[in-house]
Amino acid sequence: MSARPAFEDLYRDYLTRIYGYVYAQLRNSAEAEDVTAQVFMSAYKAYERFEVRALTPSAWLFRIARNAVYDHHRRAQVRERTEHRLRGELPAGADPAAVAEDRVLFRELLVAVRRLPERQQEVVALRHQSDLSFKEIGDVMDCSEDAAKMLYHRAVKALREMVPK
């Protein structure tokens, strides 16, 4: 059985990557920080029971992150619907950090990624934000290795058509 790394090492090695994955899904730095904090709090609580045999530590962390993002989306949808009903207002403006980030080098690419279907966005973020193999990405996304590969290649093909050379 592989040795389990110390939680401190996992935290140090994966904090930025988990934050990046969460940010890519939420596009709001404050919300990304909250959700990243939840991910590591949950991971910390569950780490004693974690066994490397079932998943690698990084796949395990990204799976927790994926669930946390889904939970956040669910809560945000409920909150947004309630607030709209109560106030009849538009959702809050763009996140300042996101605006700043958008204006830098990758604007066109970011816009193109955001036009992809949700699962394709997710597979691209996992592929480029984590060091997971397609087998592990499949584990995280509840699909087979081949399905993860297929999903990713479709996403890249779509991006090539959207992004100017």
Tell me the CA distances in angstroms from 98 to 27, 67, 103, 107, one per residue in order: 6, 23, 9, 10
Q: How far is the CB of 76 from another protein (least distance, A)?
A: 19
Q: How far is the CB of 93 from another protein (least distance, A)?
A: 10
Q: Which of 24, 61, 65, 123 binds another protein (CB under 8 A)?
A: 24
Binding mask 99-128 for another protein (x = CB under 8 A): xxx-xxxx--xx--x----------xx-xx
Q: How far is the CB of 85 from another protein (least distance, A)?
A: 27
For residue 15, give the amino acid letter: L
Residue 150 touches another protein, criterion: CB under 8 A: no
Q: Which of 46, 52, 111, 163 binds another protein (CB under 8 A)?
A: 163
CB of 80 closer than 8 Å to CB of 28: no
The number of angstroms, rounded, from the C-alpha of 4 to the middle of its chain's C-alpha atoms is 23
What CA–CA distance (Å, rounded) separates 144 from 118?
18
By beta-carbon proximity to another protein, the closer residue of 48 and 53 is 48
Number of CB atoms found within 10 A of residue 65's CB: 28
